[in-house]
Amino acid sequence: MTAGASGLSIGAVLTRLQEEFPDLTLSKVRFLDAQGLVSPERTPSGYRRYTERDVQRLRFVLQCQRDKYWPLKVIAQALDAFDRGLRPAGEQDVPQPPSRASDAALTAVGDEGRDEEGNGRQVRLTRAELQRATGLDLRALVDLESFGLIKADDDTLYSGPDLQVAHTAATLLSYGIEARHLRPFRLAAEREVSLIRGLTGTSHDADVEELLRQCLELHLALVRADLARE
């Protein structure tokens, strides 16, 4: 049977994977399903139907067990990280937050949290992952959040833009700036957001990304001009 709108049966999945994992059995597939590592859909009569994504997840689980001897708890954590947009970095096995995007003249806006082809993807990070990615200690991270620079969602996860803010803030903090001194950036951003929303609300032709770039270019030009006058 091939994959289609109704997916693969458990027997078809077993056939697909047994060449690579000869010891795989139907009971093992059902066990991994029961552990929540895959979540195949069920037909009205209760039969499992697996998508290609389910097959890839099963392959990942089996490879981690065979080649890395990871316990199921660690594998489940890795799968959760994959689901939140993290990917392996270099030779590291554990999924990692995306690296900091270079932004030479503030014209490449929103690159953080994109994949290698530049396609946008939603990245959601735990506090520990955000700390690990930026090098910020817990106190600094709490301070950034208290001054409104970053904000966790209802699942206490942080977004790709939060990661970019934290990266930039970490650099500024390394110069001796305190988190409270970054509060004006939050207020300025809120004013710019109101301006952009107002413009896009009155013009269907308004390009939000282009307006954002122009706002950042203006800000950069004004700061440079003032510094040049000193």
Distance CA 159, CA 113 (A): 8
Distance CA 149, CA 186 (A): 6
134 and 196 housed in the same domain: yes
Hey, what amino acid is at 58?
A: L
Distance CA 179, CA 188 (A): 15
pLDDT tens track for 189-221? 999 889 888 887 766 666 888 888 888 888 888
Cβ–Cβ < 8 Å for 98, 113: yes
131 and 225 housed in the same domain: yes
Task: Report how many domains make up the chain.
Answer: 2
Looking at residue 185, what DSSP letter applies?
H
pLDDT tens track for 144-156? 999 999 999 999 9
142 and 225 housed in the same domain: yes
Q: Is pTM, for the whole model, over 0.85?
A: no
In this predicted structure, the answer to whether residue 181 has a pLDDT above a threshold of 80 is: yes
Distance CA 11, CA 14 (A): 5
The contacts found for 185-188 with CB under 8 angstroms, 24 or more apart, are 185/149, 186/147, 186/148, 186/149, 188/219
Tokens representing 37? 């590592």
In this predicted structure, the answer to whether residue 37 has a pLDDT above a threshold of 80 is: yes
67 and 130 housed in the same domain: no
pLDDT tens track for 82-125? 889 887 654 456 677 777 765 443 444 444 444 443 333 588 99
Tokens representing 92? 């590291």
Cβ–Cβ < 8 Å for 68, 106: no
Please report, for the domain that includes residue 225, its CATH number.
1.10.1660
Distance CA 30, CA 42 (A): 13
133: in domain: yes
What is the pLDDT of the chain when averaged over all its residues? 84
* Residue 77 structural domain: 10-83
Please report, for the domain that includes residue 21, its CATH number.
1.10.1660.10
Helix and strand numbers (H, E) in the chain are 9, 6
User: Which of 83, 114, 148 is at the close of a domain?
Assistant: 83
76 and 133 housed in the same domain: no
Distance CA 164, CA 50 (A): 36
